[in-house]
Amino acid sequence: MTRPYDSRKRILVTGGAGFLGSHLVDRLLERKHEVLCVDNLFTGTKRNIDHLHNHPRFEFLRHDVTFPLYIEVDQIFNLACPASPVHYQHDPVQTTKTSVHGAINMLGLAKRLQCPILQASTSEVYGNPSVHPQTEDYWGNVNPIGPRSCYDEGKRCAETLFFDYHRQHNLDIKVVRIFNTYGPRMHHADGRVVSNFIVQALTGQDITIFGDGSQTRSFCYVEDLVEGFLRMMDSGPDMTGPVNLGNPGEFTMLELAEIVLRQTKSKSKIVYQPLPQDDPLQRRPDISIAKEKLNWEPTVELEEGLRRTIDYFLHLVKEVGLV
């Protein structure tokens, strides 16, 4: 006999009150799953999940993933970790603990439950790359003792743990390396370039370009990224990753500033400030594996994604008054 909710799963999203996590939670609920969002609200906010307050298939648990968690779920998406340089450098020891102890705790949970677990890794595992665009077989160029290391090395160690649990305990792991992603619900003050430029343009402040603005990044719209998460989780157990998820369109920070200024019709001036230490000079994903194995590629161009993101921040500025 078929039970009515056979395809309904109970899914844990750590970091579910954050930018990416809250969009993922929305998509999982749309797919009729039950979602448990675990977050310590360090960089995430209840505002991102407010609309789910009375949702019958949504639960929120305030918890720090550096401590063990005893629950029952069918799948785990491990996103908990501050992601912007300003946030992850605020308490670097806690950042490494979140990546490493958080991974150990979530992997331990997945092992007990024998359930698949996806890790939100990052393009930062490539550091300041000498291979361009970055392919998954590139081992990276990371400074182990610099101000970004707590994040980069924490995420690298988490990947190591995921692959050791896979080899040692046959765990069904899914590691995605996320390249710069942007969109509505980014934290307005987390210092990331897209939110910084948009907020500066909308509020008439100077646009702060670090360095000469020739460094590049590839920006993926959040909706595309979340689709990549879902396809990765739905893939067979052989598809462990690591797999790059990002938009291969590559832009200099000066180009980004010019698009934001044009779209917002802002009169803000561009000012140049020193490039932070160990800031990668170029970054662009090779997404051949995601295309071939997940049939995934981004669909939202930067111009369109920025329009949607600017609309979101306009709403924050005008109606919520947060900026």
Active site residues per annotation: 151
d(C-alpha 115, C-alpha 112), whole Å:
8
Identify residue 152 by its one-letter amino acid code: D
Q: Which does 174 bind (CB under 5 to 8 A by kind): ligand NAD, ligand UDP, none?
A: none
| Choices 32-40, 125-133, 238-246, 274-282 (CB under 6 A): range interacting with ligand UDP | 274-282
Is residue 251 a contact point for ligand UDP (CB under 6 A)?
no
| Choices 3-11, 21-29, 185-193, 314-322 (CB under 6 A): range interacting with ligand UDP | 185-193
Q: Segment 186-215, which members bind ligand UDP (CB under 6 A)?
A: 191-193, 196, 208-210, 215
Residue among 40 and 149 whose Cβ is closer to ligand NAD: 40
Angle at the Cα of 190 from the Cα atoms of 189 and 193, rounded to 5 degrees: 100
Cβ 132 to ligand NAD, closest distance in Å?
18
With CB under 6 A, what is the number of residues at the site for ligand NAD?
A: 30
Is residue 43 a contact point for ligand NAD (CB under 6 A)?
yes
φ/ψ (deg, to 5) at 14: -85, 145
Q: Which does 210 bind (CB under 5 to 8 A by kind): ligand UDP, ligand NAD, none?
A: ligand UDP
Q: Which does 75 bind (CB under 5 to 8 A by kind): ligand UDP, ligand NAD, none?
A: none
The strand pairing partners of 134, in sequence order, are 285
Six token digits for residue 71: 């629950």
Q: Which residue from 311, 32, 12 is spatially nearest to 184, judged by alpha carbons? A: 311
Q: Segment 66-95, which members bind ligand NAD (CB under 6 A)?
A: 66, 79-83, 87
Is residue 126 a contact point for ligand NAD (CB under 6 A)?
no
Identify residue 192 by its one-letter amino acid code: R
Q: Segment 71-130, which members bind ligand UDP (CB under 6 A)?
A: 84-85
| Choices 59-67, 136-144, 281-289, 311-319 (CB under 6 A): range interacting with ligand NAD | 59-67
Cis peptide before 92 (omega within 30 of 0): no
d(C-alpha 302, C-alpha 205), whole Å:
23
Q: Segment 142-161, which members bind ligand NAD (CB under 6 A)?
A: none
Q: Which residue from 25, 75, 20, 27 is spatially nearest to 43, judged by alpha carbons? A: 20
Residue among 98 and 235 whose Cβ is closer to ligand NAD: 98
Residue among 180 and 240 whose Cβ is closer to ligand UDP: 180
Looking up tokens 């003792």 gives 145
Residue among 33 and 192 whose Cβ is closer to ligand UDP: 192
φ/ψ (deg, to 5) at 77: -110, 115
List CB contacts of 260: < 8 A, sequence separation 6 or more. Answer: 197, 198, 201, 207, 266, 306, 310
Is residue 305 a contact point for ligand UDP (CB under 6 A)?
no
Is residue 142 a contact point for ligand UDP (CB under 6 A)?
no
Is residue 22 a contact point for ligand UDP (CB under 6 A)?
no
d(C-alpha 148, C-alpha 10), whole Å:
35
List CB contacts of 251: < 8 A, sequence separation 6 or more. Answer: 216, 217, 218, 219, 259, 302
Is residue 133 a contact point for ligand NAD (CB under 6 A)?
no
**DSSP per-residue codes, 54-103:** T-TTEEEEE--TTS------SEEEE--S--SHHHHTTSHHHHHHHHHHHH
Six token digits for residue 147: 């101000």
Question: Where along the sequence are the contacts to ligand UDP (CB under 6 A)?
Answer: 84-85, 180, 191-193, 196, 208-210, 215, 217, 253, 275-276, 279
Question: Where along the sequence are the contacts to ligand NAD (CB under 6 A)?
Answer: 14-15, 17-21, 39-44, 64-66, 79-83, 87, 98, 102, 120, 122, 178, 180-181, 187
